[in-house]
Amino acid sequence: MTTKRRTIRPVRCEVVLHTKPIPCCELLPHGRDGLLTLNDHDYVIGYWSELPAQGAPKIRGYQMTHIDGERSYDLRPVNGTLECECNDHLFNARACKHILCCLELIADGKIAAPDVSNDEPCME
């Protein structure tokens, strides 16, 4: 008896950051996207960020857009890690290449860590 099982390949994450994304600031109210290569594919990476009346911009997450422009993924901080909206993360319940990529860039100090302080009341 054989059991058919979908093969799930291990997640590969080889990332090269070419230009750093910049969160929104007074000079760049919308911030500026950066460029990276992940597993031989080029992505635009940007921050979901907001500029409070005072102090540093707050990083609320990241957006990775494949250079073909057709695939774009939002990554949000949840419980000390990130959540992604790609199928690999949603269906295989694991850290996908986008999450690993962002965590690696954060660990290396190449992009800013998300701001998880809960200083605004949640209206949900």
Contacting positions for Zn ion (CB under 5 A): 84, 86, 89, 96, 98
> Which residue number, 58 or 89, has a Cβ lying nearer to Zn ion?
89
- The answer to whether 60 touches 54, Cβ cutoff 8 Å, is no
> Which residue number, 11 or 35, has a Cβ lying nearer to Zn ion?
11
Rounded to whole angstroms, the Cα distance separating 97 from 72 reads: 13
Amino acid type, 31: G
- State the minimum distance, in angstroms, from the CB of residue 13 to Zn ion: 11
Q: Where are the beta strands (DSSP E) in 6-115?
A: 15-19, 34-38, 41-50, 58-66, 72-78, 81-84
> Which residue number, 30 or 71, has a Cβ lying nearer to Zn ion?
71
- State the minimum distance, in angstroms, from the CB of residue 107 to Zn ion: 17
- State the minimum distance, in angstroms, from the CB of residue 64 to Zn ion: 8
Token pair of 63 as six digits: 């957006």
